Structure 1
Amino acid sequence: MKTAEYFIKKLGLEKHPEGGFYKRIYQSDEVISKDKLPERYNSDRFYSTSIYYLLNGNDVSKFHRLKSDEIWHYYFGSPAIIHIIDDLGNYSLKKLGPNLEKSENFQVIIPKNSCFAAEVVEKNSFVIVGCTVSPGFDFEDFRLASKDELLKKYSEHVNLIKKFSD
């Protein structure tokens, strides 16, 4: 049986600031110049980027936001739950996994500027996903949300915020 440690080593994954492990596996050969992008971007971006991302059992992906849309693709392991709070404070729960009859999906789209976090459903397991971002991901666009900031803005989601932020 393959473990999370097997995949971390085999795929060369490193720790990610939001939690879990990752490795960039693709970035397009072409770049969109800053002057052709919306004002929210401060520099040029690749057309698209993708990573492998692994969450282990009790680990979580902490609340964070990106300036671009992100698509999570299910690959292997436990299903995962993605918690999304949009800019207006509306909450949605998306299930990522292979069990279509249990309302899981192979792909989940996280809209730009949404605050989102994720967790593994089966705590004694792990999940491997792919994350595709377009325009491409740059750490300049990544913002880990603080608990205080989230509580001020989305106080109706206090339990989620306490679980998925520092």
Structure 2
Amino acid sequence: MHSNAIFILCAENEIDLDLPYFSPSSLQSDGFIHACCAEQVKAVYQQFFSLQSQVFVAVIDTRLVSAEIKYESPSEPIGNDKPFPHIFGKLNTNAIVDILEYQHFSHQDISDRLLDVLAHYRFSRLPVEGTLYKSTWRATTELANEKPVGTAMIGMYCHTLKSVSCFHRLSHDEIWHFYAGDAFNLYLLFPDGEVESIVMGTDFAKGQHLQYRIPAGVWQAGEVLKNSEYAIFGCTMAPGFTGDCFEAADHDLLKEQFSGMSDVIERLAVNDGDTAMPEGFAS
């Protein structure tokens, strides 16, 4: 029995989720759209995409695909020669539940439960960090500097489709909320050198928090607990979040200052040296 998750490797911005369908040139030339299973992604990347600088993986829920999908042997040897999923028709983009950078793909299968969550919330990927997120409220009332009085978002951490927060700090306090799924860690590095790890979740007997305030100027990062599937959380800010209130860390410098957290800092350094949000983001 085949998994309900299949994948398409693509260049940056090749797939436009604002359009109703994705119709690459292979649909005309070969009669179908090439896709692959989780265990085949690496072989496809190595054979066809390894020389490209930016490669992305589109995650497709086959239960949502309107065109016919057939599993067929490739025309030339690729990987273990198992049949590949071929999509015989234009791909309705509402069947694409995530697009992430290739280097953050775990090459593991995706559970139906995780596909359900992705299809329901329709997350985007946050610039710089790549975190799965969705803006849910942005106040129309503005402060004197024309910035919103408050904002709210929903986010999701998971390992299979790597979604974490790299170390960053904000110019305003931020309130974190646990909503659903598995517990997750928040790592806090304070200006005075203090380090704190907070577990967000529902088990108060174990000291887990449903809500937690992170003060302005504190380096913060987060990830779902090891061997967990996903965690859904929320963040609210007042004044609201704008791109210029965000600063991602230089992780090499941060490891010098907090050497005891080097492993965590390195593991969550997903920002590739970028420290600022794109100009105009969340402005």
Same fold (TM over 0.5): yes
Q: Residue type of the partner of 2:148?
A: F
Cα 1:113–1:5 shift into 2, 3 Å? farther
Deviations 1:92-145 (A, max 9, x none): 111100111110011011111111111111534100001101210011111121
The equivalent of 1:116 in structure 2 is: 220
Q: Are the equivalent residues in 2 in contact too, given 1:4–1:56 (CA < 8 A)?
A: no
Task: Let me know the Cα RMSD of the aligned residues.
Answer: 1.9
**1:1-150 equivalence runs, <5 A:** 3-16=113-126, 17-34=128-145, 44-57=146-159, 59=162, 60-150=164-254
Q: Residue type of the partner of 1:25?
A: T
Q: SS of the residue aligned with 1:22? A: strand
Q: SS of the residue aligned with 1:148? A: helix
Q: Are the equivalent residues in 2 in contact too, given 1:8–1:21 (CA < 8 A)?
A: no
Q: Residue type of the partner of 2:140?
A: D
**Deviation of 1:28 (Å):** 1.4
Separation of aligned partners in 1, 2:153 and 2:233: 8
The equivalent of 1:163 in structure 2 is: 267
Q: Which runs of 5+ in 1 are unaligned?
A: 35-43
The equivalent of 1:39 in structure 2 is: none
Q: Are the equivalent residues in 2 in contact too, given 1:8–1:14 (CA < 8 A)?
A: no
**Equivalent pairs, count:** 157
**Deviation of 1:68 (Å):** 1.0
Cα 1:4–1:143 shift into 2, 3 Å? farther
Separation of aligned partners in 2, 1:87 and 1:47: 26
The equivalent of 1:40 in structure 2 is: none
Q: SS of the residue aligned with 1:162? A: helix
Q: Residue type of the partner of 2:265?
A: I
Separation of aligned partners in 1, 2:112 and 2:214: 29
Q: SS of the residue aligned with 2:221? A: strand
| TM value normalised by structure 2 | 0.52
Cα 1:28–1:86 shift into 2, 3 Å? same
Moved more, 71-80 or 4-13: 4-13
Separation of aligned partners in 2, 1:117 and 1:152: 17
The equivalent of 1:38 in structure 2 is: none
Q: Residue type of the partner of 2:114?
A: A
Separation of aligned partners in 1, 2:241 and 2:171: 9
Separation of aligned partners in 1, 2:119 and 2:243: 23
* Structure having the higher Rg: 2
